[in-house]
Amino acid sequence: MGGSVQVRVIDESTLRAAITPAVAVRAMQEAFRADGEGRTHVPPVINLEVPGTRGEFHIKTALIEGFPRMAVKVASGFYDNASRGLPSGSGLMAVFSADTGLPEALLLDNGFLTDIRTGAAGAVAADVLARRRIDCVGLLGSGVQARHQVRCLRVVREFAKIAVWSPNAAHAGIFANDMRAEGFEVVVRSDPQAVCREADVIVTATPSRAPLVRADWLRPGQHLTALGSDSPGKQELEPECLDAADLVVVDRFAQCSAFGELKHAIAAGLITRHDVHAELGQIVAGGKAGRTDDSQLTIADLTGIGFQDTAIASAALDLIG
**Residues 193 and 185 sit within 8 Å (Cβ to Cβ):** no
**pLDDT for the residue 309:** 97
Cα(291)–Cα(274) distance, integer angstroms: 18
pLDDT tens, position by position, 77-93: 898 998 898 888 899 99
Percent of the chain with pLDDT over 70: 99
The pLDDT of residue 31 is above 80 = yes
Q: Supply the Cα-derived Rg of the chain in whole angstroms.
A: 19
Q: Which amino acid is at 211?
A: P
Three-state SS for 288?
coil
Residue spans of the domains in the chain: they are: 8-113+307-320, 130-304
**pLDDT for the residue 37:** 98
Among 271, 36, 305, CA closest to 262: 271
Residue 169: C-alpha distances to residues 31, 81, 156 (Å): 36, 17, 29
Cα(302)–Cα(256) distance, integer angstroms: 7
pLDDT tens, position by position, 51-73: 999 899 999 999 999 999 999 99
**pLDDT for the residue 112:** 96
**pLDDT for the residue 174:** 97
pLDDT tens, position by position, 264-306: 999 999 999 999 999 999 999 999 999 999 999 999 999 999 9
What superfamily does domain 130-304 belong to in CATH?
NAD(P)-binding Rossmann-like Domain (3.40.50.720)
Q: Whole-structure pTM over 0.85, yes or no?
A: yes
**pLDDT for the residue 321:** 83
Distance of CA 181 to the CA centre of its chain: 24
Three-state SS for 12?
helix
Cα(216)–Cα(196) distance, integer angstroms: 10
Mean pLDDT value across the chain: 96
**Residues 300 and 223 sit within 8 Å (Cβ to Cβ):** yes
The pLDDT of residue 1 is above 80 = no
Q: ∠ at Cα 219 (217, 223), nearest 5°?
A: 100
**Residues 259 and 232 sit within 8 Å (Cβ to Cβ):** yes
- Matching fold, domains 8-113+307-320 and 130-304: no
Q: What is the mean pLDDT of residues 132-143?
A: 97
CATH for 8-113+307-320?
3.30.1780.10
Beta partners for 237? 213
Three-state SS for 107?
strand
